[in-house]
Amino acid sequence: MISISIFGTQVKAKKIILLIIVAAVWASVTLVQFHWHPERGFWQGLLIGLVTTLFLLIVEFGHDLAHIVSARYAGAPMDEILISADMPRTLYSNNAVSPNVHRMRALGGPIFNIMGLLLSLAIYRAASSASITKELAGWWAFGHGLQLMMSLLPLPPVDGGTILKWTLVARGKTESEADKVVGRVDWILGSIVILAGIGLIFVQKWTMGLILLGVGGIVFGVAAGKIR
């Protein structure tokens, strides 16, 4: 187990989990790049894939580390980040805080992704055409954009769910009532995604259709309390 302290927050991860994450992302990115650029040699493609992987890991883990900053700014520091096989977990022992503090703690990651997205898009526009810099900036922008979109979904395990719930509480609903509203939103969202996936499969867009069916299934799992 690797454990380091960042601004008083423990960041923990099993070495094997980190190696699996790096290897999986590296292999996936490298295969995609070889498909896009078959003219590249093996070692060049492997090196560019590694650099791209490091950029994407900065996106992923930078999002979580930004929550450390926003939690301290809100006056309710985070206790621990646990990097697991599915998604990093931000853990707080003190949850008896105001709705505004809950929302402030949840905003750190999305703000980091917005700033990273703007920076990467600026580099992408400034870089010369067909350059490796432009390619890396494109991957970086993709990573930030995807992370931002996923983090703002109204799901309890991610930032969007936290922001929605505590906004409802701040407007007068009880926590239980707010949880029920978030649950209803998730069922609606899951249904929309599933229908979109079926529609894409109907027009023979198999890959994206199957991806949306999988995402819709995950949303339904969260709404039903099976995925936490």
pLDDT tens digit at each of 228 positions of the chain: 788 888 888 888 888 888 988 899 999 999 988 888 888 888 998 999 999 999 999 999 999 999 999 999 999 999 999 887 767 888 888 888 999 999 999 999 999 999 999 999 999 999 988 888 999 999 999 999 999 998 999 998 889 999 999 999 999 999 999 999 999 999 999 999 999 999 999 998 888 889 899 989 988 888 888 777
Q: Residue 224's pLDDT is what?
A: 82
Q: Residue 8's pLDDT is what?
A: 86
Give the Cα separation of 63 and 58 in Å (integer). 8
* Residue 118, SS3 per DSSP: helix
Q: Residue 130's pLDDT is what?
A: 81
Alpha helices per DSSP H over 7-74: 15-36, 42-74
Give the Cα separation of 225 and 22 in Å (integer). 29
Cβ atoms within 10 Å of 161's Cβ, excluding its own? 22
Q: Residue 137's pLDDT is what?
A: 94
99-126 vs 159-170: helix crossing angle, rounded to 10: 140
Q: CB pairs under 8 A, 24+ apart, for 125-132?
A: 132/48
Q: Residue 198's pLDDT is what?
A: 94
Q: Residue 17's pLDDT is what?
A: 85
Q: Residue 89's pLDDT is what?
A: 83
Residue 109: which of 66, 153, 170 has the closest Cα? 66
